Amino acid sequence: MRQRETMTVLSTRALNRATLARQLLLDRADLPVAGAVAHLCGLQAQEPQEPFAGLWSRLRAFQPAALSELLARRGWCART
């Protein structure tokens, strides 16, 4: 007979905290810019400065020049 697995049900607060952590919004991360963008599966923005603000709020040692360099590379990001 197959044994049943039990699943933990998260409280609303625990689910909220897990979501914030996954989005790098609970604590600032020690990741490079490219690593953070990959972790987040990309960044979406309507205005040019929004990705800079988004990464500044997520990364402990964010350097705007690092994002500028990545954006200048061909094939690194999609712009529509």
pLDDT per residue as tens digits for the range 36-57: 999 998 888 888 899 999 999 9
The pTM score is 0.78
Q: How confident is the model at residue 1 (pLDDT cuts 50, 70, 90)?
A: low
* Average pLDDT value for residue range 49-67: 95
Identify the burial level of 56 via C-beta atoms within 10 angstroms of its C-beta, where 0-12 means exposed, 13-18 middle and 19 or more buried: middle
Other Cβ atoms within 10 Å of 31 Cβ, number: 19
